[in-house]
Amino acid sequence: MPNIYRKLADMNVEEIQNIIRSTVKESMAAYQTKEENSTSNLITMKEVAALYKVSLVTIHKWRKHKILPPTIKKGGRVFFRRDEILKSLEK
């Protein structure tokens, strides 16, 4: 019998649950940090409308006619990359 199986067999249920719990917490923390970093450069359509000082309807039209940079869809929401929007504002 391999070593890992002997170790698992010697552990009680609470020890195994604690190991699983701590492993899941570490994985979730790493995922959340990665997710926060990836969304920190994204802005919403509402924020873009405020930057351009136009309505959301105008932003929708500009997006449809590809006047604005490409969007990113995440969790059913639409985002723009902040740096691309700022570059397009300078033009």
- pLDDT, tens digit (0-9, with 9 covering 90-100), for 7-32: 777 888 898 888 888 888 888 877 77
Expressed as residue numbers, the domain containing 60 is 41-90
Both 24 and 52 in one domain: the answer is no
CA pair distance 14, 12, nearest whole angstrom: 6
Both 52 and 80 in one domain: the answer is yes
* Count of structural domains within the chain: 2
Both 26 and 65 in one domain: the answer is no
Q: What is the pTM of this model?
A: 0.57
How does pLDDT run across 37-51, given as a tens digit for each residue? 555 789 999 999 999
